[in-house]
Every structure is written in structure tokens, then in C-alpha cells.
Amino acid sequence: MPVRCRSSAAATATVGCPFQHAVKDQEAEPVFRNILPFSAVPTPKGLPILGTALELIRSGGAAKIHEYCHKRHQELGPIFREKMGTLDVVVVSNEDYISRVYKAEGKNPMHLVPEPWVLYNEKKGIKRGLFFMDGEHWRSRRSVLNHLLIPKIVELHGHIFNAVVDDVVDRWEKIVEKTVDGVLPNLENELYNWSIETLGTMVFGRRLGCVMPAESESQLHEFVYQVQQIFKESATMAIVPPRFASTFKLPVWRRFESAADTALDMARGYVEERIAEIEKERDTNAPIGGILKYLLDIPNIVQNEIVNIVADLILAAADTTSHATQWALYSLARNPECQEKILSEIARVVPEGRELDQNDIKSLPYLMNIVKETLRLYPIASFLTRVLPEKIVLGNYEIPAGKLFFMSQYTVGRDAERFEDPEKFQPDRWDNPNAHSHGCMPFGHGARGCIGRKVAELKMQLLIAKTVQRYHIETTNEKEVGIALRMITTPDQPIKLRLTKRT
């Protein structure tokens, strides 16, 4: 099965390899001597036919690939090659290697699209949103969305984010009041609902109803569940070959297909319903907000493509932002001194008697430090992927064009040479924003970096700030929460937070 990709790949570096002899000046790229062929890239020993599959399974399978690759880096160095399932992957963890990968990614970067998603699209005969696009078509649509999602986020959408967060912390207070121990039930779903409500309101120009009063339910809760299932079953098929699972209709494929059918139908239904409302609102001269309205006004984009773009935007953004925020709250619960620093910073910026809002965030740098440190320890994408359009030399090895690169964010963030005491949560290490330029890239980099970065950062900072303002946060988990990959970095057990209202 050929690798299906949508991004780009790797680059050369000059540290970390005993066989490397490079000469470079301040302007030029490194000039390598004794360049070794691709076959010389360090590779772990494996069994005939099975390769290293059994060792990967013994290490915890798909859920623990980040730890498996971390150990491989310790064994083989900052670059190695390994067959993982159906993929032949070059895995790199050196900060400088990763920097050069991005420099070499080309005009239209290519990244890996999970095979189950590719097979699903082929089977259904459907086209999808920005994540699945390639080449000049991708570039043109990305350019349109850049103008809608990146500039003036605070001015255009900050008030929406602020209002949703206020409703969330009010909801949590009512829920916790009814508990015996003050522990917020089902934190993951609560954050999913918040993330979808925020994004949906920004896109559609009206509230969706995900963040309802504590006693209410919303049909969108079903949508939340189905999106979670898509990621869960996709991760399982990192070990079970997706084409095999699809051909023989294994239970994992049936669950994945059912979840994708339901979630996509619901997402498209919401988009199409809102488009119809917008057209009616135009006739009444009612004020229309939301990104969707602006997309409809752009020439040369048909309505069906807009539906696909917006539906996939909602599916992708809700899962990533909600889990990143869950890790941030868990980290703060384990480090109460960080909560106090947030409160002190807010007190210096926000006058007594006035509520914090979106305009204050730019004056609260410690909040951004919290986000960066959280994503260093818990990178939502443990591996960033690229396929380079041309050959490249990395670590003195010549890598042919078209090879798939995994860039190990989990390992980079735990590099003791880059980060002092790397396992410790220390937001102050980010006081110098240039200290670790490529040591933490949770949103990727370059033309194909995460388009929702500014949105996610503002959402996270507002929720963290207002939660800490109202509550002292403690964790009641009896043992430390680890990472389980479910396409993205998720907790290996439910995170339990006790919220104690501040006086």
C-alpha cells in the first residue's frame, strides 16, 4: 500500500552523529563529506517477515508508540529507520534535524494522512476538507482560511470565547455543588463540549448549545462521542492493517466506519442547516456573523466544498484543543504554585472589581508559558510528519525523496541537553521565547503548520485563567497519569480534578 501524504520532510543537521564531518560558515548550508547511503541509517534488528512488530506490541502497541520510539532514539541515536505496520519510516528527534526538515518541505508541503481515513474516503467516494487537500488546490484554500482564522482573532472572536468560558465555569460550579467530593465528572467530555461550542460559535455566528445548564442535554453530545470513536479506532489500526480490516470487515473497521458516517453526517447537517439560515438572514437584513458567512461570499468555492472544509475543521479542532487543555489543567493541579502565579499575574493586570476578558490575555505572559510547557510535556501530535520532494542529507545519511519522516516531538521535548530537568513542569523556562526555537512545535511549522494555532492558544488561555480564578484545582488520581496515543496524545486514565471554589 503506498503511503498517502499531504506535507513535506526532512533536512540536514550537523550535531549528534559520530560519523558526520561537516564544514559550514554562517551563511552556507553544511557541506558533508563521507556521505552514507540510505541503507546505512541505523535500523533495529527484527525477525524475518514480522520485523519489529512483536517488540512494538510488547511495548504497548499503538498507544505507546511515543515511548517505543523514545527508547529507540536512546538506543540508535537521533535518526533511525523502522517499518511500523505498513509504513517505512525515518524517525528523527534532533532539534536541528527537524529545523532542516521544515526548510526543505517545498512549496506545497505533504504530510501523512492516516490510512483508515484515506480508505474510508475512497470507499465512500467523497472529498474532504483542508487536511486532505494537496498541491495548488490546498494552497489556494489554505490562503483563504489564513485570512479568516489567523489575523485579529481577539478583536473578531475574543468576546465569543470569553462568553463561552463564562458559561463553562458557571456550569462546572453547579455540577460540583451536587457532588460529594467536589470532583468534576467526565472532564474529557466537558472540555470537548466547550471546544466545539467555541469553535462552532466562531464558525456559524451563533451558539450551538453544547455548553448548556448542568441539568440539560444536547444532541451534540452524540456528535462528541462519535468524534472520539473515530480517533480511538484509527489508533487501533496503527497495528491492525487498515486495508485488511476494511476488506474483511473486522469489528475495528465497522466501529470506525460507523463513527465516521455518523460524525460526518451530523457535521455536514449542522453546516448545511446554518447555510440555509444565513441565506434567509440575508433577505431580512439581519446582522450575520461567523466565518461561514465569509466563506459563502468567496467566489470560485462551491457550497459542497465549503461544507467539507467546515465539517472537517470542527472534527479536527475539537479533539486537539480539548485534550491540550485537559493536560494543562492536570499539570496545574499537580503544581499548585503555578496556580498562585497565575492569580498574581492576573491581579497585576486586571483591576479589582473588573472581570478578566480576552483583551487582557496579551498582558499575561505566564499564561502562555503554561500552554508552552504543557505542550512540551504532552505534545498533542507526538509525531509531526513530512515527505520531502527532494533528497536530503541528515546526520550524514542521504535520504531519498519521497521518504516518510516522523519527527518525535515527545523525545525532543524531553531532551536533557535542551531542557534542564526535562520531566519537571517548569513554565518559567519559557521566559526567554527564543531559548527553544524548535524544541517545542506542537502546532507544527511552516506553510502547513496548524491553521488554528491562534484560536487554540486564546481559547486555552481564557479557560485556564478563569478556571484558576474561580477554583483551586487538585487532582485525585491515585497514580500519575500517563500518555496513551489515540492518534493524538490522550490520558491513559480519566483525569479527575477536584474544584474548590475560592473565597
Binding site for heme: what residues are annotated?
450
The CA-atom distances, in angstroms, between 394 and each of 102, 337, 400, 439, 498 are: 12, 42, 11, 18, 47
Give Cα separations from 357 to 91, 168, 171, 363 (angstroms). Answer: 42, 14, 18, 11
CB 13 within 8 A of CB 100: yes
Give Cα separations from 16 to 10, 24, 75, 180 (angstroms).
16, 16, 13, 54
Instruction: Give SS3 for 134.
Output: coil
Dist. CA 18–CA 8, nearest whole Å: 27
Q: How far is CA 389 from CA 7, 109, 168, 288, 403, in A?
A: 9, 8, 45, 43, 9
- Position 309: which residue type? I
All cell numbers assigned to 236: 487501533
Q: Residues with Cβ < 8 Å from 399, sequence gap 6 or more?
A: 9, 10, 38, 41, 90, 388, 391, 392, 393
Distance CA 384, CA 406 (A): 6
Rg of the Cα atoms in the chain: 23
Residues facing 405 on adjacent strands: 90, 386
Q: Within a 10 A sphere around the Cβ of 114, how many other Cβ atoms?
A: 18
Cα angle 350-352-358, degrees, rounded to a multiple of 5: 30
Binding residues: 450
CA–CA gap between residue 66 and residue 346 (Å, rounded): 36
Short-list 470, 450, 451, 472, CA closest to 462: 470
End-to-end CA gap in the chain: 60
